[in-house]
A and B are shown apart, each in its own frame.
Chain A
Amino acid sequence: MAASTDVRRRLAVTILVFGAATAIVCLLAPVVGSTPIRLSRVFDRTVPFADNVDAQVFFIARLPRVVAAALVGGALSVAGVVFQALLRNPLASPDTLGVSAGATLGAMVAITFHLDLAAFGIPAVPLASFIGSAGALGIVYAMAVARRRGTSSTVLLLAGVALTAFLGAIVRFVQVIADFTDTFRSVRWMMGSLDVASYAPIAAALVPMAAAFIVLGALPRVLDLISMGDEAAEARGVDVRRAERAALVSASLATGAAVSLGGPIPFVGIVVPHIVRLLVGADHRLVLPASALFGASFVVVCDLVARTAFGAVELPVGTVTAVIGGPFFLWLLYRHVA
């Protein structure tokens, strides 16, 4: 009798449980909101779409938000897991290496200088933001490959901190020289918003995210081994240099796409991996897919709270992720330690 091994069984259970929970959350989220709508009316074909307020709220106002939230949550969580493994540091996040800062700079420039470079139906700010993140990724990658052997995690970490600080200073400079109303708009952007209102930017963000997910799909086991140390991983048969570069590029692409779509939503990339590890253990073959799923539902829920908590005034989704994620994480940690 071939007993299914530990990891196979656990992987199946993990994907089933997290997948079901995420599906339920994503199916319910567009139905709930500050404006009451009826599902029967939403799907009522007899009413022309142009007249059907419920359907418009569902398909134009809410559904893109839920999809964007799920993608952003999944991407940031997965990126967080990968960076934590790559840098061998549980406190690493998608923001650590400067990709978020690059995306922020791109957005600031677009807002301040009124860039009008919309392409393929994608407005200027998300487009410029993604270009900024790609630029930061280029710098980080150049530093990573400058070392002949693998990527020293300490060097990468320090370089990322320096790049983030440098780009952050430029962001603040751009904000200072900006017009008053643009400063206000840029501050709003930095709080994060998933109200994308159309599917074009979502489809655009999906391309780099999908590419990243495909590459990362082959890497979970390698992440386990790399997290034990470069030399140990090599001695166990991992092509460390190639694996680290693939992990770096795909996690950065996912981060850049997520930040361009929804702004730099904090907390997701650093907390979701930890919460997931407390639930499923440290094996990255479980942690990676579970984080993608949990991260997706987490941000969908946070966005739901952001748009319903106070009626007329919407909270920035970043505030909600911090307020919900922080105490939850502390509670899990306490249970784990006590």
Chain B
Amino acid sequence: MPEAPALAAAHVSFTYGGERLVLDDVSAGVARGSIVGLLGPNGSGKTTLLRLLAGTRTPLRGEIAIEGVPVRSLSRRELARRIAVVPQETHSAFDFTAIEIVLMGRYAHLGPFELEGPDDMAIAREALAATGTAALARRRFATLSGGEKQRVVIASALAQASDVLLLDEPTASLDLGFQLEIASVLARLNQERGVTMVVSTHDLNLAASLCSALVLLKEGRVLAEGATGDVLTASNIRSLYGVDADVAVHPRTGRVTVVPVGRVH
């Protein structure tokens, strides 16, 4: 019997205001233990699709399922135990410390009046260690650098102990060094813990190096879906971004690299 995909969207459509369909008949599957990249220009519906996958919005048509179970049949807490989200940016109105933010990920596992126990603390510390931020535990979140903040938020998502992690443009506001750092953290988490990931990104090279499969979204529809090597072609890139690019395998890393050459009109 074929294994149910970790996450599946079946013919989902969605609209915010009621006029324009932000997503139109989108179907995509995420195999267990894989890292799937979600690519597309701004306004293509990437963030919306992530919201639907996380269950924070309900599709107009179609269904989202997690390991075969429809998302709408699960309570918020149950969903949170199965899927964690790393948003693009995290702003804290108050002065929480890094470990306090990581501990927030334990909410779905605790009762309404239950305080974190030693197990929760251990999970939280472990999550910080996994993202290389153990030393930042007592530091105020607001004082951390961009890369440190993102790693702490990833640790918070890890503390949710979910099988699936959704990341919305995790490297968008980071400089080059942090971009590589986050990429390596994610790769390691996937290898060591088998965490299934869906990463939406603008960074084609990040997608190429990190993701085993890609979903290309254009104007709310799936342009292409499949293994990275198959999907990340020059013609797809031209179709998606209007950019003429060289796609080749890099001699040193052995991975697919994309070099944009110019705009296509």
Contact = CB atoms under 8 A, between A and B. Distances in A.
Report if A and B touch in the complex (beta carbons < 8 A): yes
A277 B92 CA distance: 14
Contacts of B91: 228-229
B84 A225 contact: no
Given A225-B107, A237-B80, A277 B115 contact: no
Interface string B89-110: 0111111110111011101101
A319 interface: no
Interface residues of B, number: 38
Contacts of A84: 93-94
Interface centre among A5, A89, A277 (most CB of B within 10 A): A5
B77 interface: yes
B154 interface: no
Interface string B39-75: 0000000000001001010000000000000000000
A237 B93 contact: no
Contacts of A282: 94-97, 100
Count chain B CB atoms within 10 A of each CB in A227, A236, A239 and give the residue with the most.
Answer: A236
A139 to B, nearest CB: 25
B112 A218 contact: yes
Interface residues of A, number: 32
A238 interface: yes
A85 B96 CA distance: 13
B85 A235 contact: yes
A41 B54 CA distance: 68
Given A225-B104, A237-B108, A238-B76, A90 B94 contact: yes
A232 interface: yes
The binding surface of chain B is classed by DSSP as mixed
A228 B116 contact: no
Given A5-B115, A282-B95, A282-B96, A229 B87 contact: yes
Interface in A274-332: 277, 281-283, 285
Contact of B76 (A88, A90, A237): A237
A185 B51 CA distance: 55
Contacts of B113: 218
Interface string B188-221: 0000000000000000000000000000000000
A16 interface: no
A234 interface: yes
Contact of B90 (A85, A228, A234): A228
A6 interface: yes
Given A225-B107, A229-B87, A238-B76, A11 B115 contact: yes
Contacts of A235: 54, 56, 80, 83-85, 87
Interface in B136-191: 160
A234 B117 CA distance: 23
A117 interface: no
A5 B108 contact: no
21 contacts: A3-B118, A6-B116, A7-B115, A7-B116, A11-B115, A84-B93, A85-B94, A88-B93, A224-B96, A227-B94, A228-B91, A228-B92, A229-B90, A232-B90, A234-B54, A235-B54, A235-B83, A236-B104, A237-B76, A239-B76, A285-B115
Given A7-B116, A89-B93, A224-B100, 12 more contacts: A8-B115, A11-B115, A84-B94, A227-B92, A229-B90, A231-B87, A232-B90, A235-B84, A235-B85, A277-B95, A281-B95, A282-B100
